[in-house]
A and B are shown apart, each in its own frame.
Chain A
């Protein structure tokens, strides 16, 4: 409401006259909102009648007559502090932060009473420990530092407020030998520690009191030196070194990505194998002990690097998440082929619903199964009697498994060939004799499953032949 009044430039109590106070404390003055007096409708009077009576001209009814007298849109002249201008004088002042009572002049209001120079409060000093000569001889003697040099250090600390970089820069190299920043700091904090032990006056900057017990800041110069050395080395790297590091990092990333890819493949393979096996025996662990050896040794040297990094990286990760291969070992795979959903419990349903492939089966797989069915001259949608349903589902499940295995076999075969070519490229003139058991000959399909599992599981046989 008040905002609207402001916009319409209608005065309301509180905005009164513009004065200096209202400008300075402008936002502090709380805007008073006029609370509408609630006029009560007398008992027995009709609402419509009361509405006629009720006068809300100062609320939101538009005025019936034009009230614009022509003044409202004019810029009202600001009436700034209708007081007399206060005088300024060029007055002398004394700065208590100065020790010499020098008098400077500045402009001030003649009416303002003389106060202490306000900026003097910013005169802060660092407290630096002091010592007498006897104290020095008693506690602070050092083989490395003479008293004159120590005095110089303390003086510099006071002058430059413990900015050791500046102290080091302004160190009197003519009188004393050149010292490193660490030397200076070590000496200074050493003195502070010694003095705070023997004296009662604690030096605010080095001694903190924690739980009523004095803690003295201990400066570890050796550590600081090492840290600076490392920092310098980091900064002084040449562009070539930085580039090399970047290159190595990207290589590492690539290697890890490749490794993950390989692990994923192995895992898929493991799943398949266990699925195939689940028909005759409950497979709990088809993976041999050395899981890391399951990496197809496409590149033995990379493999080694990977393993090294692997160990490093996984040390951290292991705490939070298990490696995917390791979890594989403990998983008991019972599921094979396609798992058809159980019949729903309630309601009427078509039996043909049972033969519907579950949504988890991919488009490609569905197509492949249908293709196989066609080859076998089996109707894609047979009449769903109870028995047909069961057998049809089983058949399709087995088909899916067979397809997976075929694919896996092809992949292995491809890997094997690729390795052979690699071997021959690396050792020209030699050929890699592949054991017949590994070759995917025409009778490969008739081979018992167990053998394939063994081969995939432990490529040690493969390694030995290489």
Chain B
């Protein structure tokens, strides 16, 4: 904290927690660490409490714990991959997120319970909590969150920061244009001196989910079957493009549609993650053919090389008015003329889709064509895909451990005195 010569440096850690809820997953961990402690899928499995898992359904480590979930209304909630990815009859998969903000508070509470009990393993009243939020989060949703944290979890302090601001901080900027390519949407938010400009923020519904849906369509058109991985008992080694030979598992009856869809979506995401590549410039069959293909084996055992399809797949992320480059230009042009130079000079890219290989390069290239020539264009993207994905969380981790930030928390005393109305003032 302070050196021998009386100079102040570094941060001051007060045991704060950082929560970064997203559409794809919730990131949670201690401030001052470089990666979140847990990255939990942002869905909750809700199933009948009476079900007792059979031995054969157990995941390899056999880690099916009862304590992580609570029985309420004779329902059990299954959270995190070890619980959720087990086939259970009657278990519906539900998400608590909607349009970038928490929508189903009961489920979200279950999620927070799980975080404190299984991830943090420490009582919530010991840790100030910093939450990230989307720029367009509505006032009721923010106040509801504060209420939940203070009243149910007895948090000593609470703070809410816009995720675009945190992503800028994670990249060492206080003024930046943050392009966040997330699961459900892509957004471009100008950040000036650590404040997000709400009125200039733009977003489009193209994101990782859209990409996964595209992958599904593409594979269907190619007549490749994506078998659910949990349904495969065993498979044989076959030659490339040969018909798959496998035996199916006997699954419990009554698996819900939502759960099956969720599991399949994870597989399509995996496929995109392994295969999809963003081409340097707009898709061109001739150049795409020249790039060596990528091999992918499907759960059933079928495997083949993917060549130009990998590039074709990602073109849906760069549609004329929905792609990130267009969002950036429209967000910048909505800003004051004086701020534009600074914004063009630091464009920060983050989000799960931004980790796709070639994405950042493509955006940078397209922006170079769109940016006014009088501006210096500079794009920043952390080199590691994981850092791009966790940018907002990392920013939160940095912010919550800075010594001069410790005066910003809304403490429980302040909440008791001023109520939730002060949230708008204290967390801009």
Contacts of B230 in A (CB 8 A): none
Contacts of B373 in A (CB 8 A): 242
Contacts of A24 in B (CB 8 A): 4
- Among B372, B404, B414, the residue within 8 A (CB) of A102 is B414
Q: How far is the CA of A117 from the CA of B428 in the complex (A)?
A: 25
Q: Which of A384-439 contact B (CB under 8 A)?
A: none
Task: Name the residue among A24, A119, A231 with the largest chain B CB count within 10 angstroms.
Answer: A119
CB distance from A107 to the nearest CB of B (A): 7
- Among A159, A165, A236, the residue within 8 A (CB) of B192 is A165
Contact across chains for A165 and B12 when beta carbons are under 8 A apart: no
| A95-112 to B contact mask, C-beta < 8 Å, 1/0 | 101101110111110000
Closest to A25 in B: B4
Contacts of A232 in B (CB 8 A): 337
Contact across chains for A105 and B413 when beta carbons are under 8 A apart: no
Task: Name the residue among B8, B15, B156, B406 with the largest chain A CB count within 10 angstroms.
Answer: B406
Contact across chains for B197 and A237 when beta carbons are under 8 A apart: no
- Among A105, A118, A165, A228, the residue within 8 A (CB) of B403 is A118
Task: Name the residue among A24, A228, A235 with the largest chain B CB count within 10 angstroms.
Answer: A235
Count A-B pairs with CB separation below 8 Å. 97
Contact across chains for B199 and A169 when beta carbons are under 8 A apart: yes
Closest to A115 in B: B2
- With A163-B193, A234-B374 as known contacts, state yes or no: A104 contacts B157, CB within 8 Å: yes
Contact across chains for B128 and A104 when beta carbons are under 8 A apart: yes
CB distance from A225 to the nearest CB of B (A): 11
A160 within 8 A of B: yes
| A221-252 to B contact mask, C-beta < 8 Å, 1/0 | 00000001001101111000010000000000
Contact across chains for A163 and B372 when beta carbons are under 8 A apart: no
CB distance from B405 to the nearest CB of A (A): 8
Closest to A155 in B: B425
- With A105-B14, A107-B13, A160-B195 as known contacts, state yes or no: A165 contacts B407, CB within 8 Å: no
- Among B12, B156, B197, B337, the residue within 8 A (CB) of A166 is B197
Contact across chains for A122 and B197 when beta carbons are under 8 A apart: no
A181 within 8 A of B: yes
CB distance from B342 to the nearest CB of A (A): 10
Closest to A107 in B: B13
A75 within 8 A of B: no
Q: How far is the CA of A281 from the CA of B61 in the complex (A)?
A: 115
B411 within 8 A of A: yes
B298 within 8 A of A: no
| B232-256 to A contact mask, C-beta < 8 Å, 1/0 | 0000000000000000000000000
Contact across chains for A100 and B200 when beta carbons are under 8 A apart: no
B335 within 8 A of A: yes
- Among A101, A102, A169, the residue within 8 A (CB) of B197 is A169
Closest to B11 in A: A119
A10 within 8 A of B: no
CB distance from B290 to the nearest CB of A (A): 30
B1 within 8 A of A: yes
CB distance from A270 to the nearest CB of B (A): 44
- With A123-B404, A181-B336 as known contacts, state yes or no: A100 contacts B414, CB within 8 Å: yes
Contacts of B407 in A (CB 8 A): 95, 97-98, 119-120, 123
Q: How far is the CA of A181 from the CA of B339 in the complex (A)?
A: 12
A170 within 8 A of B: yes
Contacts of A166 in B (CB 8 A): 192-193, 195, 197, 428
- Among B8, B197, B339, B425, the residue within 8 A (CB) of A118 is B8
CB distance from B427 to the nearest CB of A (A): 11
B265 within 8 A of A: no
Q: How far is the CA of A234 from the CA of B13 in the complex (A)?
A: 47
A168 within 8 A of B: yes
Contact across chains for B14 and A165 when beta carbons are under 8 A apart: no
- With A123-B404, A165-B336, A231-B337 as known contacts, state yes or no: A102 contacts B198, CB within 8 Å: no
Contacts of A228 in B (CB 8 A): 336-338
Contacts of B409 in A (CB 8 A): 102, 104
- With A165-B197, A170-B198 as known contacts, state yes or no: A104 contacts B4, CB within 8 Å: no
Closest to A168 in B: B336
Contacts of A170 in B (CB 8 A): 198, 428
Q: How far is the CA of A249 from the CA of B408 in the complex (A)?
A: 54
B340 within 8 A of A: yes
Q: Which of A318-362 contact B (CB under 8 A)?
A: none
Q: How far is the CA of A84 from the CA of B8 in the complex (A)?
A: 25
Contact across chains for B372 and A237 when beta carbons are under 8 A apart: yes
CB distance from A102 to the nearest CB of B (A): 3
Contact across chains for A235 and B337 when beta carbons are under 8 A apart: yes
| A144-174 to B contact mask, C-beta < 8 Å, 1/0 | 0000000000000001100101101110000
Closest to B415 in A: A100
| A171-185 to B contact mask, C-beta < 8 Å, 1/0 | 000000000010000
Contacts of A235 in B (CB 8 A): 333, 337, 340, 372, 374-375
Contacts of B12 in A (CB 8 A): 106, 119
Q: How far is the CA of A107 from the CA of B362 in the complex (A)?
A: 45
Contacts of A98 in B (CB 8 A): 406-407, 411
Closest to B16 in A: A104
Contacts of B414 in A (CB 8 A): 100, 102
- Among B8, B340, B406, the residue within 8 A (CB) of A95 is B406
Contact across chains for A104 and B337 when beta carbons are under 8 A apart: no
| B197-211 to A contact mask, C-beta < 8 Å, 1/0 | 111100000000000
Contact across chains for B336 and A104 when beta carbons are under 8 A apart: no
Q: How far is the CA of A120 from the CA of B403 in the complex (A)?
A: 8
Q: How far is the CA of A165 from the CA of B198 in the complex (A)?
A: 11
Interface set of A (CB-CB < 8 Å, partner B): 24, 95, 97-98, 100-102, 104-108, 117-120, 122-123, 159-160, 163, 165-166, 168-170, 181, 228, 231-232, 234-237, 242
Given contacts A97-B404, A102-B412, 18 further A-B contacts (CB under 8 A): A24-B4, A95-B406, A98-B411, A100-B411, A102-B157, A104-B157, A104-B406, A106-B14, A118-B403, A119-B404, A120-B407, A165-B197, A165-B338, A169-B198, A181-B336, A235-B340, A235-B375, A237-B372
A-B contact pairs, 11 of them (CB 8 A): A95-B406, A98-B411, A100-B411, A106-B15, A117-B406, A119-B407, A169-B195, A228-B337, A234-B374, A235-B374, A237-B372
The 5 closest A-B pairs by CB, nearest first: A119-B403, A102-B411, A97-B407, A122-B404, A231-B337
